[in-house]
């Protein structure tokens, strides 16, 4: 009877801790394996920071393996034969510690930093057997490459902190981790490409960018699914979560220049039937959680398969707008005159006014109340906010559009601004969507009306035509000279 009770207790513990149970289920003899932490760290230090592993099936470690890039310079972790590293303790299995303090500009690099270039991890599987075990951590690295790596049953798969530059993540499987698949954690990071990877069933988000200062996040060709709690826990996470709402009072933490293209993004957030209908209520496929002080800027979401959630895209504090049809936004210039633009890159000034990318106030002026929790711009230009303690949105103003009889006659003055001229005719103001005016599309920007490829082809054609004409003239001159000399 006692043995039966112990068996039930063991099974209960097995099922209540999915990470430990999963790892032990795959590797039943895990606890009998020696702790290889000291041996592997010694190999790293003796091999100039490199860790080149052979045919060992499983290596168990209990502390992070640290790759000191300032000491060892460029390093690589590679394995043949399908090696598995089990992190049986807290922290990342692999920690890459660089020293870069600058930006992405070459002028900001200390020469020695170039020697730390491209720390590379490839060809390994990392399993977690501790609640705080992570896969890979990148700190102040330059050009890090993570390729052909699988991370399962850890907390976070790939964790970026402090400052990093020019990161590549490709052909990876980040699957069923208790935290985040790829986590940009309050990091100063310019340029990261995440491509052709499987990022699924990570319970706190698939790709998460939280606060920090991030530019140039490119996500393409990935399968990103079910990255939310697998129970009835309400959540604000998403398969892709871009979140600066945790730093509402500072402009220093901002996120911009994001491209999400060609991915399959789906599953969870109350999708399903019967009992599964209550899974992860509040989740979304893509969520942009911005802030009033500095909204998330310049985001492209195109060519993706988005399905199997109750919310596909959730955008908060995205002020960029596109004009779908005829019309211009009116702005007040510093000299008090009026100019017109179709550039809808809008944000809030320090005084809460809606301004364009150059800080010129949109007319008629609209001021967003301090503490507003969300801002919505309707297709008809109506601007509404939700104030603290209130459930319903309140209208605080409206964007209007201005049209001209002959908009081609406007005078371009640079900065996407135009002035009224005699040729353009007088301006006519109106409500978006009425009297032939276009509508306002929040969260979008108008594409350039210049087709780069077409213009390049035209330039080449013109150049070739010029070269042919020049050759004809040259040949004609030679013929005339020959005739003159032989007559």
The string of pLDDT tens digits covering residues 258-290 is 999 999 999 886 665 555 467 888 888 999 888
| Spatial distance between the Cα atoms of 339 and 332, rounded to a whole number of angstroms | 6
The string of pLDDT tens digits covering residues 58-96 is 999 999 999 999 999 899 999 987 799 999 999 999 999
The string of pLDDT tens digits covering residues 436-447 is 888 887 755 554
Q: Is pLDDT larger for residue 110 or for residue 154? A: 154
Would the pLDDT of 15 be above 70?
no
Residues 6+ apart with CB under 8 A from 192: 160, 164, 166, 167, 168, 169, 184, 214, 216, 217, 218
Q: What is the mean pLDDT of the chain?
A: 85
The string of pLDDT tens digits covering residues 359-408 is 899 999 999 887 776 678 888 889 888 787 777 888 999 999 999 999 99
Task: Report the pLDDT value the prediction gives residue 110, as an integer from 0 to 100.
Answer: 84
Distance of CA 209 to the CA centre of its chain: 7
| Spatial distance between the Cα atoms of 139 and 165, rounded to a whole number of angstroms | 10
Mean pLDDT of 185-189: 95
Would the pLDDT of 423 be above 90?
yes
Torsion angle of C-alpha atoms 348, 351, 352, 358, degrees rounded to 10: -20
Q: Is pLDDT larger for residue 477 or for residue 426? A: 426
User: pLDDT tier at 309 (50, 70, 90 boundaries)?
Assistant: confident
| Spatial distance between the Cα atoms of 6 and 66, rounded to a whole number of angstroms | 40
* Structure-block tokens of residue 172: 């990876």
* Structure-block tokens of residue 287: 């969520």
* Structure-block tokens of residue 279: 């899974």
């Amino acid at each position: 009877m006692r043995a039966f009770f112990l068996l039930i207790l063991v099974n209960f513990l097995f099922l209540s801790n999915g990470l430990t149970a999963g790892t032990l289920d795959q590797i039943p003899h895990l606890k009998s394996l020696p702790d290889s932490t000291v041996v592997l760290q010694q190999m790293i230090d003796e091999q100039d920071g490199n860790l080149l592993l052979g045919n060992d099936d499983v290596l168990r470690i209990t502390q992070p393996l640290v790759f000191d890039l300032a000491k060892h310079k460029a390093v690589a972790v590679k394995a043949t034969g399908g090696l598995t590293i089990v992190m049986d303790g807290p922290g990342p299995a692999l920690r890459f510690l660089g020293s870069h303090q600058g930006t992405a500009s070459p002028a900001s690099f200390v020469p020695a930093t170039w020697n730390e270039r491209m720390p590379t991890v490839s060809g390994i599987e990392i399993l977690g057997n501790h609640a705080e075990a992570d896969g890979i951590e990148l700190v102040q690295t330059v050009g890090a490459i993570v390729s052909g790596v699988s991370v399962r049953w850890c907390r976070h798969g790939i964790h970026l902190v402090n400052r990093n530059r020019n990161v590549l993540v490709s052909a990876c499987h980040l699957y069923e981790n208790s935290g985040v698949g790829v986590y940009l954690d309050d990091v100063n990071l310019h340029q990261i490409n995440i491509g052709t990877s499987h990022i699924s069933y990570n319970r706190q988000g698939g790709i998460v960018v939280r606060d920090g200062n991030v530019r140039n996040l490119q996500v393409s060709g990935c399968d990103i699914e079910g990255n939310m709690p697998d129970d009835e826990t309400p959540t604000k996470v998403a398969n892709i979560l871009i979140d600066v709402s945790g730093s509402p009072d500072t402009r220093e933490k901002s996120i911009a220049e994001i491209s999400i293209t060609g991915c399959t993004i789906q599953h969870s957030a109350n999708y399903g039937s019967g009992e599964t209908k209550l899974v992860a209520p509040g989740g979304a496929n893509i969520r942009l959680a911005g802030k009033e002080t500095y909204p998330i800027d310049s985001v492209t979401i195109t060519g993706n398969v988005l399905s199997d959630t109750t919310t596909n895209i959730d955008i908060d504090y995205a002020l960029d707008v596109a004009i779908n049809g005829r019309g211009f936004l009116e702005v007040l210039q510093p000299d008090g005159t009026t100019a017109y633009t179709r550039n809808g890159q809008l944000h809030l000034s320090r005084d809460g006014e809606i301004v364009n990318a150059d800080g010129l106030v949109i007319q008629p002026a609209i001021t967003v109340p301090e503490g507003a929790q969300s801002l919505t711009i309707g297709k008809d230009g109506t601007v509404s906010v939700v104030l603290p303690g209130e459930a319903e949105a309140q209208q605080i103003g409206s964007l209007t559009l201005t049209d001209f009889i002959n908009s081609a006659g406007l005078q371009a003055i640079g900065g996407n601004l135009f002035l009224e001229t005699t040729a353009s005719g007088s301006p006519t103001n109106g409500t978006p969507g009425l009297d032939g005016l276009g509508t306002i599309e929040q969260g979008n920007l108008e594409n350039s009306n210049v087709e780069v490829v077409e213009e390049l082809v035209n330039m080449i054609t013109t150049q070739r035509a010029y070269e042919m004409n020049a050759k004809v003239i040259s040949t004609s001159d030679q013929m005339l000279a020959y005739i003159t000399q032989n007559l």
